[in-house]
Amino acid sequence: MAVRSIDLKVIVGLGNPGSKYTETRHNAGFWFVEQLAAKHSVSFRADKKFHGDVAKILLKDKEIWLLKPGTFMNRSGLAVHSLLSFYRFTASQLLVAHDEIDLPSGTTKLKTGGGHGGHNGLRDIISQLGSNDFHRLRIGVGHPGSKDQVVDYVLHTPSKDDRIDIDNDISKAIDVMPELASGDMERAMHILHSK
């Protein structure tokens, strides 16, 4: 899919709710939106109609919703669909931040469209929206080396060094959010992918 301008309205971070999962690799999307909210000095609040926790930030004088689904990962689409349909946003106005096993820890990439790659959160969002035409922030968490170990791997805490790499990369991704808010996906990708 060709890179184009983006009219960003919503950033969703994927993860599993509950203290048991807070530090696991599968919650890298939560880590991203939590750090983004903290940078803008805003707090998440529970919102039942959106099946999750929401916050709002101003980026380049533009109001952007942040969402952490309160459902488990494989039901993430419920929260995303609820918020998008309530405000009449389209899939193309959405950025989903998620853990990506096909990228090493410390590598984060932006992309638009594509399949779910076996990621249950993305699978459910695509199913609920009836579209894969949304943007993704793929936060590398590394691969266990075997397909059979993936579930166990993403539900465990990364090593201290890997977590430092992931957090550093999340900071770099946060730095390009103003470009995305301005609609310049291409510039955001160029900056992030060359870091």
26 in active site = yes
With beta carbons less than 8 A apart as the criterion, state whether 70 and 46 touch.
yes
Encoding tokens for residue 110?
A: 């932006």
* Contacts by 171-177, CB closer than 8 A, 24 or more apart: 171/35, 172/108, 173/32, 173/97, 173/108, 173/137, 173/139, 174/32, 174/35, 174/36, 174/39, 176/110, 177/11, 177/36, 177/59
26, 81, 98, 119: which is the annotated catalytic residue? 26
What are the residue numbers of the active site?
A: 26
